[in-house]
Amino acid sequence: MAINGATVAPILVSAALLVAGVLASKLSSRFGIPALLLFLVTGMLAGSEGPGGIPFDSPLAAMAAGSVALFLILFDGGLQTDLKNLSRTVAVRGALLATVGVMVTAGVVGAFCVVVLDIPLTEGLLLGAILSSTDAAAVFSVLRSRDVGLPPRLRTLIEFESASNDPTAVFLVVTLVAFAAGDAPVGALVPLSYLLRLAGGGAIGWLSGVLLVRILNRIDLEHDGLYPVLTLAAAGVVFGVAEIVGTSGFMAAYMAGLAMAGRVFAHRRSLLRFHEGVAWLMQIVMFLILGLLVFPSELLEHAVPGLAISAVLMLMARPLAVMALLLGSDFSLRERVMVSWVGLRGAAPIILATFPMVAGLETAGSIFNTVFFVVVFSVLIQGPTAGLMARLLRVDVPVERVERLPIEIDGDAATGMMIARLHVEPGSFADGSHLLDVGGPHMPLVILMRREGRYFIPGGTTVLAGGDELHLLGTVEMIEAMRPHVCCAARCDL
């Protein structure tokens, strides 16, 4: 029986667009063009005004798809965070940037739009609010590329801020849209509602992440393929519950992943790899849909205000917020400038720009096109220059290439065992010693060793040398006990 062509066509088109998105990412790494920009361009070419000719004009569908994609990207962002680098200082300063920093940025951009560009008050303030937050998808994509090497603490601050500042921007946009529609909340309830959404979402997410770890470690599913299904569904449940009870689902999704990041759970490595793939899929889907939604012919008339707003955002509003809120911290001036520069705008502002369209505001089309132009400019300018800026500011570190292991290994969640990777530092105690002399009953088991590109299983008489890469099986305490023996500043890949 032949399948109806009307059924096959959407499948074929969707699959072809995904393939085009994946191939675009390859072009990105080869020619230095931001992958996210290529995804957007691919969507625009496939749209009604491009060669693809696909008609798509549904802000509501774009907002729904973008919201799903964003919370899954945030969940993965939390999972991939190394909690050893999330110190008290980083957490506090990151939280300030994600809240007060977003408000400062929104205020400066909004004031510029109203006073200098003579944009109507509501439209100007909405533009400031929509463009106030950095985009997690764009920041993760740039910072985790092969060209940008930053100190772990600085990288964690930037990623933590970008992943946790969406609730503030969403709250500002929703409040302003309600005000424009004549349905504004009572003034005294505004800050209360904001704090409830932020703190409530964080609490729900963290508790859910801890609970999910316990479930993963106690449940015994018959098929390993069901574990990714469970965590994917759990992320959706966390987001949905948080939103239904009136808190931030985006914050809840990120905090759930963050709570899991520092814990040992069953199938940890395979689940991390699965959610990384889901995050990439969501990035491609989200930017393709947003590319389909825009009409390129309408962008040119917004070029001048878009360029002006971009300049103020990158050179005034963002730096002002960062410099003020990191003042007095142990982050150097160069590091603060780097944080300012890597405040990329991406899919999140474009998704927020669909809120006025869904609400039916008269100026919604103008707002959307201006935001789209600013986002493209930000990704085009700030994305490719992030590595160059890090080198100019001398805050860069060498980017270490971590090769995949030739075998699949995972820790034992029931006993708290995990797999870690340590490098033998030249001049350390282990350099020139037999493996037997470095080990002991309180040390982890060295299950695999890599020397000069070759993997092998070492024995007790194997003589270690500087540069050797050891793959260890043990508890966190055992691995930390061995660290001083092999190096002073080893990199541990959990």
pLDDT value at 13 more than 50:
yes
Better pLDDT: 313 or 416: 313
Mean pLDDT across the stretch 61-87? 84
Reported confidence tier of residue 452, pLDDT bands at 50, 70, 90: confident
Mean pLDDT across the stretch 432-437? 86
Better pLDDT: 442 or 2: 442
- pLDDT per residue over 260-311, tens digit each? 987 878 888 889 889 988 988 888 888 888 888 888 777 778 888 989 999 9
Instruction: Give the pLDDT of residue 490.
Output: 39
Mean pLDDT across the stretch 332-339? 92
Instruction: Give the pLDDT of residue 29.
Output: 59
Reported confidence tier of residue 399, pLDDT bands at 50, 70, 90: low
pLDDT value at 423 more than 90:
no
Mean pLDDT across the stretch 146-154? 75
12-392: which CATH topology?
Na+/H+ antiporter like fold (1.20.1530)
Better pLDDT: 405 or 109: 109
pTM above threshold 0.85 = no
Better pLDDT: 71 or 16: 71
Instruction: Give the pLDDT of residue 153.
Output: 86
Instruction: Give the pLDDT of residue 489.
Output: 46
Does the domain at 418-486 match CATH 3.30.70.1450? Answer given as: yes
Q: Cite the residue boundaries of each domain of the chain with CATH code 1.20.1530.20.
A: 12-392
pLDDT value at 231 more than 90:
yes
Mean pLDDT across the stretch 25-41? 68
Instruction: Give the pLDDT of residue 494.
Output: 38
Reported confidence tier of residue 412, pLDDT bands at 50, 70, 90: low
Average confidence score pLDDT of the chain: 82
Instruction: Give the pLDDT of residue 492.
Output: 41
Instruction: Give the pLDDT of residue 279.
Output: 87
pLDDT value at 187 more than 60:
no
Lowest mean pLDDT among 29-43, 346-360, 447-461: 29-43
Mean pLDDT across the stretch 222-244? 93
Lowest mean pLDDT among 100-109, 315-324, 342-351: 342-351
Instruction: Give the pLDDT of residue 196.
Output: 81
Instruction: Give the pLDDT of residue 491.
Output: 42
Q: Cite the residue boundaries of each domain of the chain with CATH code 3.30.70.1450.
A: 418-486
Instruction: Give the pLDDT of residue 185.
Output: 56
Burial zone of 302 (CB within 10 Å; 0-12 exposed, 13-18 middle, 19+ buried): buried
Report how far residue 157's alpha carbon sits from residue 98's, in angstroms, rounded to the nearest whole number.
10
The percent of residues in the chain predicted with pLDDT above 90, rounded, is 22
The percent of residues in the chain predicted with pLDDT above 70, rounded, is 88
Report how far residue 142's alpha carbon sits from residue 36's, in angstroms, rounded to the nearest whole number.
9
Lowest mean pLDDT among 62-71, 191-200, 299-308: 191-200
Instruction: Give the pLDDT of residue 294.
Output: 81
pLDDT value at 352 more than 80:
yes
